[in-house]
């Protein structure tokens, strides 16, 4: 409908997982390189995790395309809600292995013989399982047993498990510790930064046939990032419907106003998140709020500097801290560029940051990406200072790159303060 109007040959923002549209970032390149290395080195088990909509399946399709070009046999299981027998049947069919018997012993014997033939011919075989967080414990155990198909020195079958961060939680079960210990490589997908969102939109327009003329204004791209929060799937949704609305209004360039209108249609309007909650009479159950103390007070105010407020100096109202116990996912990088991932819970929050306890060693000034599990919002932050090392970990105060009151507000109504008798951090 709108393709010819904007000079495009195809829809640039389809929410399918076409590997041609995988946008290259440092994170995606690293994840793809890790998986390829694990397969080539016959590491056995590899795992890819990332939040909903961050491009895991698109990356897997890119990996599969690359493997097919190298004559690697692959099976791709995308429906994880299968029983053990159904899983084996699907895998055998996707590998193209015929087995007349339905007996499990015969199926595994046939699979083993086929894998040995490929190994002796110098060929690789890869099983990829998407949405693996939905696998039952019994099916995960069945997959672990497949890794026992090996020679005395190398694995015959390379297995990639991909899923949401809950997959990590599932593998932390004691019953699955054998599988967890066999995972040789881990890779991650992350939300896009604002700069990456700009490149992402331009690249998809180019692949779709754009001639380089401006289609999205800079403020429109900024609005897309603000509402999508770097989630590729939501970025596609907003961008496609913004093109449709611009076409209907006969606008040649998508404006920020058009993106704002689309976001409201999909209930992504920040105004809803930032609207003050109705005031209720104070009671003994009302959340206790405290004034910031010590270093945990967000950005400095004129009072902090001891000077007068100049014409160009921004003033900030006092920041209130709420004691909250919210689940978070934390992504970051070691100094050598290796990514790390940790689950944590908040001790306290405010509109400019929060206080958490971490097991991973971080340093002041280090950038982290945190995701609020309850509303799936992601936000970049900077470590402000470190507290004492306790049994639960090190208390870490962080500050958002820009104030983000909406990051906590969606979950705030469903959480109660941490009482003196409760543990603030798991």
Residue 309, domain member (yes or no): no
- Average confidence score pLDDT of the chain: 80
Kind and range of the H or E run holding 26: helix 26-40
Does residue 112 sit in the same domain as residue 209? no
Does residue 51 sit in the same domain as residue 148? yes
Do residues 374 and 411 touch, judged by C-beta distance below 8 A?
yes
Residue 299, domain member (yes or no): no
**At 66, is the pLDDT very low, low, confident or very high (cuts 50, 70, 90)?**
very high
Structural domain count, the chain: 3
Buried b (16+ CB within 10 A) or exposed e, 343-354: bbbbbbbbbbbb
Do residues 397 and 321 touch, judged by C-beta distance below 8 A?
no
Reply yes or no on whether the pLDDT at 176 is more than 80.
Answer: yes
- pLDDT, position 310: 41
58: three-class secondary structure by DSSP: helix
CB atoms within 10 A of CB 391: 5
Residue 133 sits at φ, ψ, to 5 deg, of -65, -15
Domain that holds residue 124: 24-189
**At 313, is the pLDDT very low, low, confident or very high (cuts 50, 70, 90)?**
very low
Spatial distance between the Cα atoms of 175 and 161, rounded to a whole number of angstroms: 18
CB atoms within 10 A of CB 222: 16
Spatial distance between the Cα atoms of 58 and 32, rounded to a whole number of angstroms: 11
Does residue 34 sit in the same domain as residue 135? yes
Do residues 157 and 147 touch, judged by C-beta distance below 8 A?
yes
Q: Please, what is the Cα angle at 277 between 273 and 283, to 5 degrees? A: 145
Spatial distance between the Cα atoms of 373 and 355, rounded to a whole number of angstroms: 16
Spatial distance between the Cα atoms of 270 and 19, rounded to a whole number of angstroms: 31
Does residue 254 sit in the same domain as residue 170? no
- Kindly give, in sequence order, each residue whose CB lies less than 8 Å from that of residue 117, ignoring residues fewer than 6 positions away: none
Do residues 413 and 275 touch, judged by C-beta distance below 8 A?
no
Kind and range of the H or E run holding 339: strand 339-350
Distance from CA of residue 259 to its chain's centroid? 23
Pairing relationship of beta strands 183-189 and 45-50 according to DSSP bridges:
parallel
Instruction: For residue 294, count CB atoms less than 10 angstroms from its CB and return exposed for 0-12, middle for 13-18, buried for 19 or more.
Output: exposed
Which tens digits make up the pLDDT trace of 325-349? 788 888 887 776 677 778 888 888 8
Distance from CA of residue 133 to its chain's centroid? 14
Does residue 209 sit in the same domain as residue 344? no
Does residue 182 sit in the same domain as residue 203? no
57: left (phi over 0), alpha (psi -120 to 50) or beta: alpha
Spatial distance between the Cα atoms of 246 and 366, rounded to a whole number of angstroms: 40
Does residue 204 sit in the same domain as residue 179? no
Does residue 405 sit in the same domain as residue 373? yes
Does residue 355 sit in the same domain as residue 375? yes
Do residues 17 and 254 touch, judged by C-beta distance below 8 A?
no
Reply yes or no on whether the pLDDT at 219 is more than 90.
Answer: yes
Which tens digits make up the pLDDT trace of 237-279? 999 999 999 998 999 999 999 999 998 887 764 433 333 333 3
Do residues 61 and 28 touch, judged by C-beta distance below 8 A?
no
Alpha helices, H only, 103-255? 104-120, 137-146, 166-171, 177-182, 194-207, 218-228, 232-248
Does residue 165 sit in the same domain as residue 31? yes
Instruction: Name the residue among 79, 64, 76 with its Cα closest to residue 19.
Output: 64
Do residues 219 and 82 touch, judged by C-beta distance below 8 A?
no
Which tens digits make up the pLDDT trace of 98-157? 888 878 888 999 999 999 999 999 999 999 999 999 999 999 999 998 988 888 788 999
Do residues 161 and 132 touch, judged by C-beta distance below 8 A?
yes
Does residue 223 sit in the same domain as residue 363? no
CATH number of the CATH domain containing 236: 1.10.8
Neighbouring-strand partners of residue 293 = 296
**At 367, is the pLDDT very low, low, confident or very high (cuts 50, 70, 90)?**
confident
């Amino acid at each position: 409908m709108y393709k010819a109007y904007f000079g495009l040959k195809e829809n640039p923002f389809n929410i399918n997982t076409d590997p041609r549209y995988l946008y290259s970032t440092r994170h995606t390149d690293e994840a793809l390189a890790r998986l390829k290395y694990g397969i080539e080195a016959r590491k056995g088990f590899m795992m890819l995790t990332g939040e909903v909509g961050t491009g895991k399946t698109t990356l897997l399709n890119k990996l599969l395309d690359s493997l097919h070009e190298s004559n690697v046999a692959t099976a791709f299981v995308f429906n994880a809600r299968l029983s053990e027998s159904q899983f084996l049947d699907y895998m055998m069919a996707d590998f193209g292995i015929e087995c007349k018997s339905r007996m499990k012993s015969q199926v595994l014997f046939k699979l083993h013989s086929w894998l040995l033939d490929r190994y002796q011919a110098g060929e690789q075989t890869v099983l990829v399982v998407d949405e693996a967080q939905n696998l039952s414990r019994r099916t995960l155990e069945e997959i672990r047993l497949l890794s026992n198909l090996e020679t005395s020195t190398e694995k015959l079958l390379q297995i990639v498990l991909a899923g949401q961060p809950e997959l990590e939680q599932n593998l932390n079960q004691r019953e699955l510790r054998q599988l967890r210990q066999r995972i040789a490589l881990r890779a991650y997908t992350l939300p896009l930064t604002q700069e990456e969102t700009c490149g992402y939109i331009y690249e998809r327009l180019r692949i779709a046939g754009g001639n380089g003329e401006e289609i999205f204004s800079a403020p429109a791209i900024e609005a897309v990032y603000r509402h999508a929060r770097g989630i590729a799937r939501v970025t596609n949704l907003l961008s496609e419907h913004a093109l449709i609305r611009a076409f209907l209004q006969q606008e040649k360039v998508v404006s920020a106003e058009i993106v704002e209108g689309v976001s409201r249609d999909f209930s992504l309007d920040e105004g809803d998140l930032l609207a003050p909650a109705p005031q209720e009479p104070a009671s003994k159950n009302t959340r206790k709020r405290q004034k910031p103390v010590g270093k945990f007070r967000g950005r400095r105010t004129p009072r902090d500097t001891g000077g007068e407020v100049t014409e160009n100096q921004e003033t900030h109202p006092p920041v209130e801290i709420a004691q909250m116990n919210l689940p978070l996912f934390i992504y970051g990088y070691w100094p050598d560029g290796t990514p790390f991932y940790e689950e944590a819970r908040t001790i306290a929050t405010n509109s400019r940051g929060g206080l958490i306890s971490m097991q991973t060693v971080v340093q002041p000034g280090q950038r982290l990406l945190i995701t609020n599990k309850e509303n799936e919002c992601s936000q970049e932050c900077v470590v402000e200072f470190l507290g004492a090392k306790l049994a639960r970990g090190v208390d870490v105060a962080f500050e958002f790159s820009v104030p983000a009151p909406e990051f906590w507000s969606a979950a705030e109504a469903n959480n109660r303060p941490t009482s003196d008798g409760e543990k603030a951090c798991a």
